[in-house]
């Protein structure tokens, strides 16, 4: 199996022994029937929640696009939001921007984790995203309960 490491050693680490972080921005694993992409720790520290969300979705779209994927291939979103920023208005803004990128009915699963602080000045939220890009496209079934 093949693994593609995207942007290794991103960020800053304070260590006497290391000169770069030991993680990457994303990792893609290539399988016989799909490419699985894990993106982590994405932040965009400028603008309001809408602008940051739009930039983060744009970055994810670019990364999955490297493997012929689109935001419709997203299967999980994990949002980390500063406690003081997580309001119904914030949640609505994130969902509205998501609708600009993800077509119905390709809704990814998702969760929001509130945190006292995002460790990048100006960042109001952070995103981990998982995408699965099938070799032969999607057949989407919805179950409504």
CATH of domain 41-132: 3.30.1330.40
Percent of the chain with pLDDT over 70: 97
Domain locations along the chain? 41-132
Task: Name the burial class of residue 135, with classes exposed (0-12), middle (13-18) and buried (19+) by CB atoms within 10 angstroms of its CB.
Answer: exposed
Identify the H or E element spanning 58. Answer: helix 49-65
pLDDT in tens, 82-129: 888 889 999 999 999 999 999 999 999 999 999 999 989 999 999 999
> 53, 125 in Cβ contact below 8 A?
yes
Q: DSSP of 87-127, one letter per residue? A: SHHHHHHHHHHHHHHS-TT-PPEEEEEEES--SSTT--EEE
pLDDT in tens, 132-143: 999 999 999 999
């Amino acid at each position: 199996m093949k693994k593609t490491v995207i942007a290794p050693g991103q960020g800053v680490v304070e260590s006497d022994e290391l000169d770069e972080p030991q993680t990457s921005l994303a990792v893609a694993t290539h399988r016989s029937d799909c490419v699985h992409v894990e993106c982590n720790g994405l932040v965009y520290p400028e603008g309001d929640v809408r602008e940051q969300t739009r930039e983060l979705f744009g970055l994810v779209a670019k990364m999955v696009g490297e493997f012929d994927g689109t935001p419709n291939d997203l299967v999980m979103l994990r949002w980390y939001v500063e406690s003081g920023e997580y309001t119904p208005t914030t949640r609505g803004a994130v969902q509205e921007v998501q609708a600009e990128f993800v077509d119905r009915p390709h809704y990814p699963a998702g969760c929001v984790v509130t945190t006292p602080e995002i460790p990048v000045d100006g960042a109001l939220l952070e995103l981990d995203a998982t995408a699965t890009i099938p070799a032969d496209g999607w057949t989407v079934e919805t179950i409504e309960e």
